[in-house]
Amino acid sequence: MNHNRSDYRLLSRQFFRLLPYQILLIVLSSINEIISSIFASNYIGREAMSALGLYDPFDTSVIAVSLMFVIGSQILGGKAMGRNAMAEARKIFSMDVLITTVFSAAAILVLSMAVHFGWSRILTPDADVQKSLGRYILGVAVGIFPTVMGQQLTAFLSLENKTKYTSAASVAFLSVSLVLNYLFVVVYRMGEFGLGLAPSIGMWIFLMIELKPYVGGKTLFKLLFSEFKLRDLWRIMKTGFSGSVIEGYQAVLGFILNALIVMYVGSAGLSAFAATQAVMLAVGIIPFGMIQVARMLMSVSIGEEDRKTLADVMRVGLFRCIPAISVIAALMIVFAIPLTRLFYRDPSDPVFEMTAAGFRILPLLLPLSVFRMQFSGYAQTSGKDGLSHLLALLEGVACVAFFAAVLIRPLGMRGVYWAYPLNGVVCAMVIVLYSWVMRKAFPKDLEQLMVIPDDFGAPEDARMDISVRSIDEVTMVSQQVIEFCRSRGIDRRISFFSGLFLEEMASNVVEHGFSKDRKKHSVDIRVVHKNDEVILRIKDDCVPFDPAERSEILDPADLVKGAGIRLVYKIAEDIEYQNILGLNVLTIHICTDKHQGRRH
């Protein structure tokens, strides 16, 4: 009998349900960059576009540090939730909020000093561009704190499945930013300062909306100021560093590429590069959102020691996301000229052709980016720091800078553009080579390519994974659970109770959860025999429901109604319920050693 015949439809639905919310904040930031570029090029001038390009490495540096906090706290919080350790998760959240506030204040101070002391002259000899950059920075600095804090809250709201606040905040931000850009730049002629101030005000409104559930006490994550520990800060930074360091590398890369372009191409190249980067960043948030979702799901799977789900997260990311992003890349190449016309109108201007070339070449990187980012996310959550740092170094600065330096002389701006897809090829080769070296054999399947440790989770013969979508399937699976337990040498009584408990709880989900809405649902069932106990895990995407609440409200005098659920809570050693990332997760522990007692 094939015990492991589960599909990953539930996981796939969860992945793509979470994806829009994970990319929403970055989408808005990217859309805002496109809007800013359009207003800058059409209503202010080329100096403003150059200022946007020169500021980008500074913006990337701020995002890099912010991402370190987001990734570190998200991974640690997800693992804690996977272990049902909410007190630990709240400590991580509290430290994340504190350090984010301190960092934002420091970033604002540094940028203010840069404007006051005229440090922009280090970046460009053009006095007009220097002044333009200084005015833009003053407007942008107003929005640093809400931008950084908004990234943190978005991650934690996703862990609690409270994404409706992020949706509302995003709509408000985009509306306010668009209106204020028009008023500040076109109507009131505030120039670069207005260009930076408009989205800053929008981000403050974004933050106010996301803070609402925290102020109202409607969240699991709460501030615990009395339990701050520097050890938690170190854990967040250490865990998140390998995932965010690529942004730091890209900031360095930005300075290098800007210097190369100024040296070999000129200001027209800077303007073309700024335009293509604005669009590529907007499209690039799709693979970025994918890695955000994958990191959350992988961290929970690692906390649960669920080997199969860990591999399935990677399957969804590779086999369903890469085809989708490839279609988007093809469309960008086909519509290279219309995309160019968003920024520049005159085909005879050299900047027009440079920009169009970028839209024809840069999209080739996108499918390779999904592959690299999925493995980077896995390396970060599983502690494979060597692979994570190596990929970040290659992707973030080394490969692109090398290829750009070699190709810019003979090919001009095309050489800079081609450096990106060539870098993607190198990273893919490194991932395969890493697996080959670590396993001392060429990888033949996905788990081997991931180099999942042999001792992680339960071995295949000690676990059973099945998906069900109807009450008839639940009854059949119940019998399979009994047969599985008997095949593991578990006595008849425990085997019978394992099948009975599974049937009772899964039937309850199918009968009541499936009928709450018109959506298609499924239940993923996992049975593990480990350390003298049978562990039943039932996972579904129905409305949140804690079975313990039902067992408490049942009438004690009615011994028939709810007899099954009462029996489960009476005999099981331990029962844990959580709603993680929008999924109900019920875990039942049944002791197979009759000499051991109940935990609770």
Q: Domains of the chain: which residue ranges? A: 9-446, 460-591
**What is the pLDDT, as a whole number, of residue 113?**
92
The 3-state DSSP class for residue 589 equals strand
DSSP calls for 261-313: HHHHT-HHHHHHHHHHHHHHHHHHHHHHHHHHHHHHHHHHHHHHT-HHHHHHH
Each residue's pLDDT tens digit in the chain (600 positions)?
Answer: 344 455 567 777 777 777 766 666 566 666 777 778 788 878 887 778 788 878 877 887 888 788 889 888 888 887 787 777 778 888 899 899 999 999 999 999 999 998 888 887 887 788 888 888 899 999 999 999 999 999 899 888 877 778 788 888 988 998 898 899 999 999 989 988 999 999 999 999 999 999 999 887 778 788 776 666 778 888 898 888 876 777 678 778 888 998 899 889 988 888 888 889 878 877 877 787 787 788 778 887 887 778 888 888 888 888 888 998 999 999 999 999 999 998 888 888 899 999 999 999 999 999 998 999 889 888 888 888 888 889 888 887 889 999 999 999 999 999 999 999 999 999 999 999 999 999 899 998 888 999 988 878 777 788 888 888 888 888 888 888 899 899 888 888 888 888 888 888 888 888 777 777 777 777 888 888 887 888 888 888 887 777 766 554 444 554 445 566 777 777 788 888 777 777 788 888 888 765 444 444
Say what the pLDDT of residue 176 is. Answer: 92
Residue with the two structure tokens 């000690």: 462
206 and 173 Cβ atoms separated by less than 8 Å: yes
Segment holding 369, helix H or strand E:
helix 366-382
User: What's the rounded Cα separation, in Å, for the pair 481 and 476?
Assistant: 9
Q: Which of 552, 595, 600 is closest to 572 using CA atoms? A: 600
| Cα(74)–Cα(161) distance, integer angstroms | 14
Answer for the pair 69, 100: CB distance below 8 angstroms, yes or no. yes
**DSSP 8-state code for residue 394:** I
What is the DSSP-derived secondary structure letter of residue 2? -
Query: CATH for 460-591, among 3.40.50.300, 3.30.565.10, 2.60.40.3710, 3.40.30.10?
Result: 3.30.565.10
pLDDT score for 599:
45
Could you tell me which of 279, 285, 259 has the C-alpha nearest to residue 37?
Answer: 279
Distances 11 to 7, 521, 594 between C-alpha atoms, Å: 9, 11, 36
Strand partners, 586: 538, 577
Give Cα 77 to chain centroid, integer Å.
Answer: 13
- Residue 465 pairs with which residues in a beta bridge? 526
Whether 25 and 170 have beta carbons less than 8 Å apart is answered as yes
Per-residue pLDDT, 358: 93
Dump strand ranges (E) for 17-113. Answer: none
CA distance linking residue 467 with residue 471, whole number of Å: 12
Closest CA to 134 of 120, 145, 151, 113: 120
Q: What is the spatial distance between Cα 444 and Cα 104, in angstroms, rounded to a whole number? A: 46
Query: What pLDDT is stored for residue 230 in this prediction?
Result: 79
Confidence (pTM): 0.68
**Res 162: pLDDT:** 80
The H or E element spanning position 132 is: helix 127-141
